[in-house]
Each structure stands twice: as C-alpha cells, then as structure tokens.
C-alpha cells in the first residue's frame, strides 16, 4: 500500500505537471540570462548574477526565486488535495473499506506529501543544474564567504540546499494536511493553506510582532543560504528543521484527531 | 457510544499535548540558563586586573548583535539614498542601527582575525592577516585589499578590526568593545560587580559601569567576562529609562581553540573586483587617533581631513562635531520630520534615539553624542 500510494501519487498528471513546471522555472531563468547576458554584480535575485560565470548557480537562483511563493503553492495544492480530494471524488470511502485503518491511511498520505516536498525542491535544483550545465561554463563554486568549492562539492551543496528547502516546507505541508481533513472541498483547503503561508510571511516582516518571529513556519525558508557559506553555519538550518518537526507534531496530531473521528459520508 | 464519544474527545488532546511538550522542550533549557552560575567572589578591581593581564586567546565563535535604539528601521531610507540601481551591497552600516544581526568570528594570535557578518543570503567579511586586510561584500562582489604600511603594524596588531573601513567598522568582537570601555575607566564612572551569568555555555563575571553624570544617555554598561579565559563574552549598553539593552553584543557560541590557518587566507574569488588601498604611511596618525574614545565615532577610517570630527567634552559626555557634511538629497524629507532646534549655535534639526542624539545644523555641521539633547546643544554652543 505504501508503494502503491507513492507511485499512484507521482503518476498523477497534476503532480507530474507541477514538478515539470517547477523544473522549468530555473531553466527559463537560465535561458533568459543566456539571451540577455545576465544582470551585473549585485543585481537581480541572489545568485543570478553568478549564473553566466557558473551554470550551477542557475539551480540556486531557481531555489531563491521559487521558495517565497511558487514552491509552497504547489505544496499547498498537493497537501490540501490529499484528504479533501479523495472525499470530494467519493473515493475516500473505498480507501477506508480496506482494513488498513484510518491512522495508517493518514500516515501514508503524510509521507507522500513529504516525499512531494523533497521532490519538488529537487526538481527545481535539477532543472537549474541541467539548463545551467548546457548553457554556461561550470567550474569551482564561489561561496558567500568568498572561498571556492570544487564543482562536485558545489553540486553536492546545491542538492543539499534543495533537500533543506524541501524539508523546510514540511511544517506547511502538515498544516495543509490538517486543513484537508476539515473539509470536502479541496480548493478550499489549498487556498486556506496558501493563505496561512502568506499570513506567516507578512507577520515575519512586521517588526512589532518580533516576539513570534522565531515561531513562524516561513521564517527559515531562506536558511538554506547558510549552506553556501564557508564554513557552513548550521544554527539557523537546525533551528528551522526543529521548528518544522514541531509543526509536524502539532498539526499531524490534529489531523489524526480529526481524521480518525470524522464521519466519512462521501 | 458514550465511551466512543469520550475517546473522540480524548484524541483532540493529542495536538495540545504535542504543543505542551514542545513548549516544555523550549522552556526548560532557558530556565536552567537563567540560573546564576556559582563563581568565587571577585572585586571589580580584581576582575579588571584579571582582564588586563589575560593573554589573548585563540577562538572561534558566533556573535549575536541586537540594537534597540527606539528608532524605525532605516533600511528603506538607505536604499533610497544609495539608489540609482548601481548594484546593491549586501550590507550597509546603517542596517546595524536596528534589529538583530549575527556574525562569526575567528581569532588567532594578535594579527589574524576574520569577522563574517552573516546576512540573509549574503555575507560581508573582513579578514586581517599580518600586513593584509581584505574586505568582501557578497552582494556587489567587491573586494578591498588594504596593505598596512610597516610603521603602523604594531597599532594595527593590537586592534585589528579597527584598521578597516566602514563595511566592518560596526563589527567588533566583545574583546575590542570591552577594551575600549575599560580604557575609559576614570573617576567619571561607578564600577561595580553584577551577578555572574552563563553565556554561550561559559561561566562569566559581570562588570557594571555607570556614569556619574546626568548628561549621559547611558544608564549603565554591563560587560560579561569569561571566568576562565577572561575573554569578554558580552557587552550590553542600557540607556536611561529603557529596560531592554539599547545595544547588545555577545557570543552565542564560542570554542577556545586555534582556527585553521586557511580561515585567514583570502583569495579574491572569480568575478570579483579588487580595489587596492594602503593603510598607514601618510595616514599613519589616523590609525590610532580614535581608538580609546568609546563614545566618539571612529576617526581612523581614511577620509578627507575636512571631515575629521572634532571632539568636545570628555568621557561619557564626549560629543563629536563634524564639519561640512553634505546631506544626501534623499534624506531631506527625513530631516524635515526631525525636531527643529535653535540656539546660539544657529539653527538645526535634532534626531533623537534612546542612546545617541544627532544634531544636524543648517551650516553643515553635525554633532553626535551619547548625551541628552540639552547637553548636546550646550556642547555645540560651547564649541569653537
């Protein structure tokens, strides 16, 4: 059942399309930079000015561009759809007929969403890497600390950054899963999840509510930049990952409480 | 059905239980850290002597800085002032006037220092190694290479980061800040011992310095000193009438071991633009001119002599007066919102914060000091 759900989820046309579009974003960025010659130092999104010198940066620029909105949006679509989608199609009943039980079904859904988060971020990195390698020279990767990494280490850091970005979306995914158990209208669950992410990001920019800033799940979305320092600064990344675990615990438990007690009519 | 209804309700306690467990995990280390560590009693004199005798220690660590001057965030303003889209630097010194920042530091011996200001997706580094000082801004990819002339080597060696210019100027290790304050210890200051504190896992003594004069905006300064290595671990400046520290600079982690030599090697990365400058030589005097005055702006940055600040008053009431300041056009609206003042010095605008007051006069002079507004005006009026 685990494998079946994972495979069926990633075979879905919608999920495939989302991953493809995510991979296309950095590729498109790379093509635009290739055609225009690219921004000069210090302009445009972070890392974009490096792309003409080193194609690897197309992946990092892609992550920087998609992290604030596009990547979370697709996670909200997948997470919001997870339970509410089955309910609205009337397939939830049939899933629950199986002896697996509701708790197990919810866990499988949660793991699938988590896998999607990682796959989505890796798709962005992969799209950027492929386009960057085709269009631009590649070589040693300059860190934010002015040191250089070998190409292999640089690509390794880039993929690690993608995994960190994927994992930093887990908290939002848990919220989306919880909201998805509350309703039979998948679009509503998706919109509510995106709305909460926007609210969290807005609160993160308001200095009057500084006290809650460390607790916002959008707070650490750019922490992956610390992987591009030399030495890597782990404090912000580990704080962010711990926060995501906290969100998963609270909203995962809430989703479980709701889903195992709700009346499945459709 | 009754028992099933109860179990349904019980399940809803799971998310709340998870939240409580997380709150406890977060709160418990904080509670134990709040406990004052037990240390043998030490008088203020003993502590200052201990610090002055302490050998320099090699270390690496991270520093948290926070500024709470009661002024709005100025970054939008400086963006406007620096406008024109000529590439944005990762860091502008005015950023440090508000909010909190993180830096990483590495120290090895008297002539090797690296300070990295860790910004969001960006970094500013200052690397001092022997006769070379490099500054790096990851936003503009600009490298400035300063070569220290032979004559100024000793001065630069004792205060490495001071030999640098504006990108690095506000970034100091607690060691450097505390040295400045301790050098300023005169009868003007009441010195006492605070309660020992635990910082970055190290037990530390706290030295409290309070100015006698009422004209100072500083209520007291607290310096936490490592009980073993005598390294100043935290410096906090409290303004009068403010509960939260106006300035706080302290280690969030510290390791007492010699950092790798490669940490102090700097090679301009590909794509960077390098500017070469020489420190010292003809500017030999400027390298140590402003060092001991904690409240005066650093006078050691290489700049035109016309803008060299003159200082009035002493110790806590030092006021710096800079002549012939060109106010950028973009700041005019900002200045208009400031309090207009006039006196025997002429007319001007007063910019107030909890710690530092600035008087911008219509004749182009600017006075800066950690003194009350009236004391600032008096100092300007008395200035030649």
Residue A266 lies in a domain: no
Range from A235-239, B94-98, B119-123, B331-335 that averages highest in pLDDT: A235-239
Backbone angles phi and psi of A160, in degrees to 5: -65, -40
CB contact under 8 A, A41 and B271: yes
Q: Residue B343 — pLDDT band, cuts 50, 70, 90?
A: confident
Question: Does residue A50 form part of some domain?
Answer: yes
Q: What are the phi and psi torsion angles at B276 (to 5°)? A: -100, 135
Mean of all residue pLDDT scores within chain B? 78
Higher pLDDT, B2 or B8: B8
> Which of B16, B73, B127, B269 best probes binding to A when mutated, by most A CB atoms within 10 angstroms?
B269
What's the average model confidence in pLDDT over B54-77?
Answer: 80
For an interface test with A, the pick among B3, B16, B18 (most A C-beta atoms closer than 10 Å) comes out as B18
Q: B293: pLDDT confidence band, cut at 50, 70 and 90?
A: very low
Chain B closest-CA separation from residue A110 CA (Å): 16
List the structure tokens of A72. 């979370």
> And the tokens for B13?
């306690």
Which residue from B76, B85, B91 is spatially nearest to B139, judged by alpha carbons? Answer: B91
pLDDT band at B94 (very low <50, low <70, confident <90, very high): low
User: Chain A contacts of B66, Cβ < 8 Å?
Assistant: none
Residue A74 lies in a domain: yes
Q: Quick check: B156 pLDDT over 60?
A: no
Residue B168 near residue B301 (C-beta atoms within 8 A): no
Note the pLDDT of residue B76.
Answer: 52
Per-residue pLDDT at B161: 41
Report chain A's mean pLDDT, rounded to a whole number. Answer: 91
- For residue B20, what pLDDT band results from cuts at 50, 70 and 90? very high
Q: How confident is the model at residue B159 (pLDDT cuts 50, 70, 90)?
A: very low
Strand runs labelled E in A27-142: 141-142
pLDDT exceeds 60 at position A227: yes
Q: Place B86 in a pLDDT band, splitting at 50, 70 and 90.
A: very low
For residue A266, the number of C-alpha atoms closer than 13 Å in the C-beta half-sphere is: 12
| B372 Cβ neighbours under 8 A, 6+ residues apart | B214, B215, B216, B217, B357
Chain A's closest residue to B23, CA to CA, is A246
Q: How many domains does chain A have?
A: 1
Q: List helix spans (H) across chain B.
A: 2-11, 13-34, 44-53, 75-81, 153-158, 174-183, 332-336, 373-382
Taking an 8 Å cut-off on Cβ atoms, the answer to whether B15 and A41 are in contact is no
Residue spans in chain B of domains classed CATH 3.30.310: 308-382
Beta-carbon separation of B87 and A142 below 8 A: no
Closest residue in chain B to residue A263, using alpha carbons only = B8
- Which pLDDT belongs to residue B74? 58
Task: Tell if the CB–CB gap between B125 and A147 is shorter than 8 Å.
Answer: no
Please tell me the distance in Å from B272's CA to the nearest CA on chain A: 9
Q: How far is B120 from chain A (nearest CA, A)?
A: 7
Residue A257's pLDDT band, with cuts at 50, 70 and 90, is very high
User: Which residues 187-216 on chain A approach chain B with CB closer than 8 angstroms?
Assistant: 207
Yes or no, beta carbons of A145 and B120 under 8 Å apart: no
Q: Give the nearest partner residue to A142 out of B8, B11, B269, using CB atoms.
A: B269
Q: Do B15 and A257 touch (CB under 8 A)?
A: yes
Rounded to whole angstroms, how far apart are CA atoms A50 and B121? 14
ipTM: 0.86
Task: Measure in Å the smallest separation between the Cα of A246 and chain B Cα atoms.
Answer: 7
CA closest to A61 among chain B residues: B121
Interchain pair B15, A251: CB under 8 A: yes
Q: Which residue spans of chain B are classified as CATH 2.50.20.10?
A: 44-285
pLDDT of amino acid B88: 59
* Residue-level pLDDT at B181: 59
The reply to whether A78 falls in a domain is yes
CA proximity to B201, closest of B172, B223, B233: B233
Average pLDDT on A74-86 reads 94
B139–A144 C-beta distance less than 8 A: no
Domain-embedded: residue A156 = yes
- Average pLDDT on A223-239 reads 93
Q: Is A144 on the interface with B (CB under 8 A)?
A: yes
Within 10 angstroms of residue B103's Cβ, the number of other Cβ atoms is 24
CB contact under 8 A, B11 and A146: no
Whether residue A255 lies inside any domain: the answer is yes
CATH of B308-382, one of 1.10.600, 3.30.310, 1.25.40, 2.60.40: 3.30.310
Distance CA B210, CA B218 (A): 8
pLDDT, tens only, A59-73: 999 999 999 999 999
Is-cis flag, bond preceding B239, omega within 30? no
Interface size, chain A vs chain B, as Cβ–Cβ contacts under 8 Å: 102
Who among A43, A50, A144 is closest to B87 (CB)? A43
Residue A150, in any domain of the structure: yes
**Lowest mean pLDDT: which of A77-91, B35-49, B128-142, B362-376?**
B35-49
Quote the pLDDT of residue A48.
85
Q: pTM of the full predicted structure? A: 0.82
| Domain B44-285 sits in CATH 2.50.20.10 | yes
Confidence of residue B9 (pLDDT cuts 50, 70, 90): confident
Residue A154 lies in a domain: yes
pLDDT over 60 (residue B296) = no
Range of the domain at A210: 2-261
For residues A135 and B332, the model is more confident at A135
Provide the pLDDT for residue B61.
95
Residue B51: what pLDDT?
A: 79
Q: Which of A50, A222, A246 sits opposite B271 (nearest CB)?
A: A50
Contact A250 B85 (CB under 8 A): no
pLDDT for B165 equals: 43
According to the model, what pLDDT value does residue B99 have?
A: 77
Q: Given pLDDT bands bounded at 50, 70 and 90, which one contains residue A55?
A: very high
Min Cα–Cα distance to chain B from A140, Å: 9
Query: Which among A40, A50, A140 is the nearest to B87, CB-wise?
Result: A40
- Residue A15 predicted with pLDDT over 50: yes
Is A144 within 8 Å of B122 when comparing Cβ atoms?
A: yes
What is the pLDDT confidence band of residue B154, given thresholds at 50, 70 and 90?
A: very low
Please state which of the ranges B18-32, B300-314, B341-355 shows the lowest mean pLDDT.
Answer: B300-314
Q: Which residues of B touch A260 (CB under 8 A)?
A: 11
Q: What is the mean pLDDT of residues B271-288?
A: 68
Min mean pLDDT across B113-127, B175-189, B303-317 is at B175-189
- Among B106-120, B294-308, B311-325, the range scoring the smallest mean pLDDT is B294-308
Mutant choice from B123, B200, B262 vs A, greatest count of A C-beta within 10 A: B123
What beta strand segments (E) does B227-330 contain? 232-239, 247-255, 273-279, 310-312, 319-322
Does the structure show a pLDDT above 90 at B257? yes
- Closest-CA residue of A relative to B259 is A231
């Amino acid at each position: 059942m685990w494998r079946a759900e994972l495979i069926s989820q990633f075979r879905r046309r919608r999920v495939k399309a989302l991953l493809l579009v995510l991979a296309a974003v950095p590729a498109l960025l790379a093509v635009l930079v290739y055609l225009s010659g690219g921004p000069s130092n210090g302009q445009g999104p972070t890392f974009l000015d490096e792309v003409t010198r080193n194609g690897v940066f197309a992946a990092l620029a892609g992550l920087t561009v998609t992290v604030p909105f596009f990547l979370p949006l697709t996670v909200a679509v997948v997470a919001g759809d997870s339970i509410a989608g089955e309910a609205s199609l009337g397939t939830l009943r049939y899933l629950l007929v199986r002896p697996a039980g509701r708790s197990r079904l919810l866990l499988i859904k949660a793991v699938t969403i988590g896998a999607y988060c990682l796959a989505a971020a890796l798709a962005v990195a992969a799209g950027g890497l492929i386009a960057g390698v085709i269009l631009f020279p590649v070589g040693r990767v300059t860190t934010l600390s002015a040191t250089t990494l070998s190409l292999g280490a640089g690509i390794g850091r880039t993929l690690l950054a993608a995994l960190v970005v994927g994992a930093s979306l887990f908290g939002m995914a848990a919220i989306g899963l919880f909201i998805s158990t509350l309703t039979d209208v998948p679009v509503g669950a998706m919109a509510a999840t995106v709305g909460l992410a926007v609210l969290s990001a807005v609160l993160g920019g308001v200095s009057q509510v500084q006290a809650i800033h460390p607790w916002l799940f959008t707070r650490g979305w750019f922490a992956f930049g610390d992987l591009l320092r030399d030495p890597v600064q782990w404090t912000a990344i580990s704080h962010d990952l711990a926060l995501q675990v906290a969100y998963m615990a609270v909203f995962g438990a809430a989703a479980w409480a709701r889903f195992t007690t709700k009346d499945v009519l459709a | 059905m009754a028992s099933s209804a109860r179990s349904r309700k019980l399940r809803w306690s799971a998310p709340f239980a998870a939240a409580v467990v997380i709150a406890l995990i977060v709160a418990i280390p904080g509670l134990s850290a709040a406990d004052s560590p037990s240390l043998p009693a030490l008088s203020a004199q003993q502590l200052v002597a201990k610090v002055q005798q302490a050998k320099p220690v090699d270390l690496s660590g991270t520093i948290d800085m926070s500024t709470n001057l009661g002024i709005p965030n100025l970054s939008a303003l400086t963006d406007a002032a620096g406008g024109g889209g000529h590439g944005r630097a990762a860091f502008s010194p005015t950023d440090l006037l508000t909010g909190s920042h993180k830096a990483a530091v590495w120290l090895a011996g008297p002539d090797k220092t690296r300070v990295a200001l860790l910004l969001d997706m960006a970094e500013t580094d200052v690397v001092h190694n022997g006769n070379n000082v490099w500054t790096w801004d990851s936003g503009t990819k600009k490298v400035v290479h300063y070569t220290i002339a032979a004559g100024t080597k000793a001065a630069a060696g004792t205060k490495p980061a001071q030999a640098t210019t504006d990108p690095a100027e506000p970034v100091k290790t607690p060691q450097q800040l505390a040295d400045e304050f301790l050098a300023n210890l005169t009868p003007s200051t009441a010195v006492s011992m605070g309660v020992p504190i635990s910082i970055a896992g190290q037990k530390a003594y706290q030295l409290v310095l309070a100015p006698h004069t009422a004209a100072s905006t500083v209520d007291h300064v607290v310096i936490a000193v490592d009980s073993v290595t005598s390294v100043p671990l935290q410096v906090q400046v409290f303004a009068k009438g403010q509960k939260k520290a106006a300035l706080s600079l302290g280690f969030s982690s510290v390791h007492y071991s010699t950092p790798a030599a490669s940490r102090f090697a700097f090679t301009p990365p590909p794509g960077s633009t390098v500017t070469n400058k020489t420190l010292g030589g003809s500017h030999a005097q400027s390298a140590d001119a402003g060092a001991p005055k904690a409240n005066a702006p650093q006078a050691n940055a290489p700049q035109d002599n016309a803008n060299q600040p003159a200082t009035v008053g002493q110790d806590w009431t030092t006021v710096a007066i800079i002549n012939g300041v060109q106010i950028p056009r973009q700041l005019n609206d900002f200045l208009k919102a400031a309090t207009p003042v006039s006196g025997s010095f002429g007319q001007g605008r007063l910019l107030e914060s909890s710690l530092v007051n600035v008087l911008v006069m219509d004749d182009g002079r600017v006075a800066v000091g950690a003194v009350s507004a009236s004391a600032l005006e008096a100092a300007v009026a008395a200035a030649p």
